Chains A and B, each alone.
Chain A
Amino acid sequence: MNSWIPQKSLIFMLIALGLITLPHSQHLPLPLFLFFGLLWSWRFIAIWKPEWLPGKTTVFLLMLTAIGLLYSQHQGILGRAGGTSLFVIALGLKLLEIRGTRDIYLIVFLGFIVAATEFLYQQSIIMAVYIVLVCIVLLATLITINGLHAKIRPTLKKAGIIVLQAIPIAAIIFVLFPRIEAPRFKWLEAEKNQITGLSDTLEPGAISELGLSPELVFRVKFEGDIPPPAERYWRGPVFSYTDGKRWRESPNRFFKRYMDTPRFKGKAYHYTLLMEPQNKPWVFALEMPARFEAPLQRNGFYQLTTTKDPAQRAEYNITSYTQFNTGYLTKTELKDTLQLPGKPSERIVKLVKQLGGFDLKPEQFIANLFNYFRQEKFFYTLMPKKMEDNPIETFLFDRRYGFCSHYATAFVYLMRIADIPARVIGGYQGGEFNEAGNFLEVRQANAHAWTEVWLQGKGWTRFDPTTAIAPERVEQTLDIEQQIATRTLTIVPPEILHQSMDWLKRAKQILGSVDYSWQRWIINYNRASQQGIFKHLGIEDLKSIIYWLLVLVGTATLIMARFILKHKAQPVDPAVKLYHQFCQKIPDITRKPGETPYSFAARCRQAYPKHAETIDRITQLFVKIRYYPNSPKEMLEYLKKQVDHFSCT
């Protein structure tokens, strides 16, 4: 290995490293990123001005600066952010100290590590493709060192070919490499990202504008039928306790063991739920979840929670029934769901009385209340005014503009005054069907609140007061983008739903579906999915894993070897073939290996002076065709004729 580094290698390498660190600008502290940028530019300029490279003292000072920066930004080098910064800064410093090819290799290897740390922050398919492309440039850097005179495009092509050929074997190892659940080290934990999601409290009076994020919360793939839009209620936290303004979950948990077992009826929906990273361990199952697997658990509020880290994407198989009877009510539940923050005001008691809350059957009272919402001037809005004082009364009697939470809380409040157990349910409603991938996408904008009333003989029964005022909110598909743009409730009319699938929307759906598969099969591939595949293949122990790895990788390598090492069969010159025929026609004389046609002809002439003329003619013809390019075709035909007719007897 020589110490001379070709300029081309340096340019290749610096471009690759620049591309690798660029996405880190999003999450690296700015001073560190700028520091790396400075070192990188310094090295880039020094390609043409080598005398500007720093001396030993300067490098030492730069190193001290780097340590100071690292310490001030991270207080250490452990964990995801600190580790990433450390590698990026080490890479930057090493750039200024390139003395030989060994340093280039070290830098390229560091580059691969920095590229890998990118995946700790972002795991989208686009990032993966980007990193693979950058890795090709990094590999091309190595090629420029080992093939000094290779041109730029063939070098990139060669690197690309190597990576392409590597993909099948990489895929095999990916599937078969045993996944071990690593022990979680506290200090290595990734710091939590800002994940938005449902809150564990509900305070409709404090909100003047409902957040409408198109961010994906989860995706659902059904085996078989999909429930109709009006039944797509994805159950989240249950709010029972209220202080008049804010609604919270009940702190009571112990009643669970006394609860009745719910009975399910009608159609069973089997589905796979792919949760995006969340900040709470809530899993939004279709009401009501009947069967599910660990790590899922059902609490006393029929809500599913997971024991795994919710910040990781996870996949769950669940079976739900939309018809159910939860049975009797426990004492704790009764107490919790009749709780009122104080004595209700007179005008509100009057309203309950007016709607028959104290003498009619609960069902009749609810129907009256729905009618009341419909007939009085109540409106659905995503931008209500704040209602700080006594929000429920303000909403019912003064403002009458509100969104689902306002209606749900008011409804429950009125139920409880009438001594009917009721509670508010948070979660998501609806979901857009992705035709390309055949699954439902549920986004933050689908967040919803509805209510549950306990009825004798029916158990907990869902009522959604929002349907009284804006039934389309529940029965049809939300146009989330339009809704965000106009800040009003926007529904896609059903007849347009299919026509309006312009190419943009279609493309979006296809991308969504690709992303779904990516999340499901690549990002979320884990020990459990691996066990499933192993079961299919009949793999039981480590020995058979190794056996399968060897067999499959070996087969792939053989195919690759055939592909890479194929020798193009040199086309045999027809003249050579004819000449061989001629040589074999001469008895007793064999052409020695390497003997020229002329010396062979001389020997033949001596042995068969009678045919000397023909031998000479054939020899000369052959030599002319063979060694003079572009000899006319007729000559070959003539040679063939001569050889065919030739005979020594």
Chain B
Amino acid sequence: MNETVLSLKQRFALSRFMRGEKPANGALTLNQRRIFILPTRQGGGFIVLIILLLLIALTYNNNLIYLLAFMLASVFFITILHTYQSLAGLVVKPLQTQAAFTGEKAGFSFSIQNPSDQERFDIQLKLETETLLDIPPHHHEKVLLFKSTKKRGKLQAGTLTVSSCYPLGLFRAWSPLRFKMEALVYPAPATVFSVFPESEGFEGENGQSKKGGDDFYGLQSYQPGDPIRQIHWKSYAKGQGLFSKHYGGNAVADLWLDYNQTPGHDVEQRLSHLCRWIIEAEKIGLHYGLILPNKKIPCNHGPSHQHACLEALALF
């Protein structure tokens, strides 16, 4: 696998023990280069126990207590190998990421494979959230871990720490892994919903006129395809549902969400509004398009369209 030779300085760099090496592209196998071991607090207690036993053995000059103390010391020693063995050979592969709105948690999924004949117990995987799992021999497990987001854009997965204290909990073996893996972070949707913009500057592509029919004859529950201009925003804002004002004529309108016409003091506020609009528009089933200063996404609807629009906002 993608192994490069490390220089001495790199080999003993502290970050390698905590953060891991440079991000890797594909799967990583846990081996002696990536697995580190240190005693846990319980391991420290075990050393105190051994010293206590040695003191008892010394004062009473008792060879069997010496022997018991040496056996426990030897167990302590052997446990290093067993703890290493509980991680060695596992293969961790990055899978997909789940995008999130800023402030929510982005998901990163990994697969962890046990190619050996021994079951692995209590393997802990930790990103920001953690999970504990057992992996039977020749099996692989999928895990989804989350990381909280603070800023829109691309979020690096960071360090995934795989660790285990099996079998005795006296040592903890851990392996910090970094992958080239990033999740999209959309802007946070605005908390206040402002009315969709009137797409005045843009005639519908099907040449729809600015005004609908002339005679208003009442409210009807909104049907997909109803023009935005005719939506009765007052009742929508009151939470009574979506209604269209119906006039004599009828026409389908496209909703153009334009960055320049979006309210807000700064970029982020505007993006937040746009984000909320996209979500609402998709929910209602409108045909919507996005106009950013550097990008234009034609009108459409559906999950992949929504994703394309949100991605554009995230990367703006």
Known contacts A116-B65, A146-B166, A166-B71, then 14 further A-B pairs from the complex at CB < 8 Å, ordered by chain A residue: A102-B42, A115-B68, A135-B71, A142-B168, A146-B122, A150-B121, A159-B167, A523-B63, A523-B64, A526-B61, A557-B81, A560-B78, A565-B84, A570-B115
- Determine whether B237 belongs to the interface, using a CB cutoff of 8 Å to chain A: no
B65 close to A174 (CB less than 8 A): no
Tell me the minimal C-beta distance from A193 to chain B in angstroms: 14
Q: How far is the CA of A143 from the CA of B167 in the complex (A)?
A: 5
Task: Check B85–A174 contact: CB distance below 8 A.
Answer: no
CB neighbours (8 Å) of B69 from chain A are: 116
Instruction: List 21 A–B pairs whose Cβ atoms lie within 8 Å, in order of A's numbering.
Output: A106-B45, A112-B72, A113-B53, A113-B56, A116-B53, A116-B57, A142-B170, A143-B166, A143-B167, A146-B168, A162-B78, A162-B79, A169-B73, A170-B70, A174-B66, A177-B66, A182-B59, A522-B67, A560-B78, A564-B82, A565-B84
Whether a CB of chain B sits under 8 angstroms from the CB of A267 is no
B61 to chain A, nearest CB (A): 6
B134 at the interface (CB under 8 A from A): yes
Could you tell me the distance in whole angstroms from the C-beta of A116 to the nearest C-beta in chain B? 5
Whole-angstrom distance between the Cβ of B29 and the nearest chain A Cβ: 11
* B6-54 interface with A by 8 A CB criterion: 42, 45-46, 49, 52-53
Q: From residue A140, how far is it (CB to closest CB) to chain B in Å?
A: 9
Contacts of B62 in A (CB 8 A): 119-120, 123
Q: Note all chain A residues with C-beta closer than 8 A to B121.
A: 146-150
Choice from B52, B75, B84 contacting A163 with Cβ under 8 Å: B75
CA distance A123 to B65 in the complex (A): 10
B53–A128 CB distance below 8 A: no
Q: Report Cα–Cα, A159/B75, bound state, in Å.
A: 10
**Known interface pairs A112-B68, A119-B65; A148-B122 also in contact (CB < 8 Å):** yes
**Contact (A142, B167) CB under 8 Å given A112-B53, A162-B78, A522-B67:** yes
Any A CB within 8 A of the CB of B58:
yes
> Is B290 interfacial (CB 8 A cutoff)?
no
In the bound complex, CA of A526 to CA of B66 (Å): 11
Q: Is A312 an interface residue (CB 8 A)?
A: yes
> A648: which B residues are within 8 A, CB to CB?
none
Tell me if B165 is interfacial: C-beta within 8 Å of chain A. Answer: yes
The answer to whether A147 and B166 have CB atoms under 8 Å apart is yes
CB-defined contacts of B115 to chain A, threshold 8 Å: 570
Interfacial residues of chain A within 127-141, with CB under 8 A of chain B in the complex = 128, 131-132, 135, 139
Enumerate chain B residues within 8 angstroms of A560, measured Cβ to Cβ: 78, 81
User: B169 at the A/B interface (Cβ < 8 Å)?
Assistant: yes
Chain A residues within an 8 Å CB radius of B46 = 109
Docked-complex contact A116 and B122, CB < 8 angstroms:
no
Contact of B167 among A109, A115, A162, A553 (CB under 8 A): A162
Judge if A173 is at the interface, Cβ distance under 8 Å.
yes
The reply on B74 being an interface residue by CB < 8 A is yes
Q: Which residues of B contact A115 (CB under 8 A)?
A: 68
Q: Which residues of B contact A166 (CB under 8 A)?
A: 71-72, 74-75, 77-78
Instruction: Provide the bound-state CA to CA distance between A112 and B49, in Å.
Output: 8
- Shortest beta-carbon distance, B190 to chain A, in Å? 40
Query: Does any Cβ of A come within 8 Å of B117's Cβ?
Result: yes
* Contact A561 to B81, CB < 8 A, known contacts A116-B68, A173-B73, A177-B66: yes
| B78 x A146 contact (CB < 8 A) | no
Q: Could you say which of B61, B67, B75, B119 contacts A181, with CB atoms under 8 Å apart?
A: B61
Interface string of B190-233 (1 = CB under 8 A from A): 00000000000000000000000000000000000000000000
Which of chain A's residues have a CB closer than 8 A to the CB of B57?
Answer: 116
A128 touches B52 (CB 8 A): no
With A147-B166, A170-B74 as contacts: A109 and B67 at CB distance below 8 Å:
no
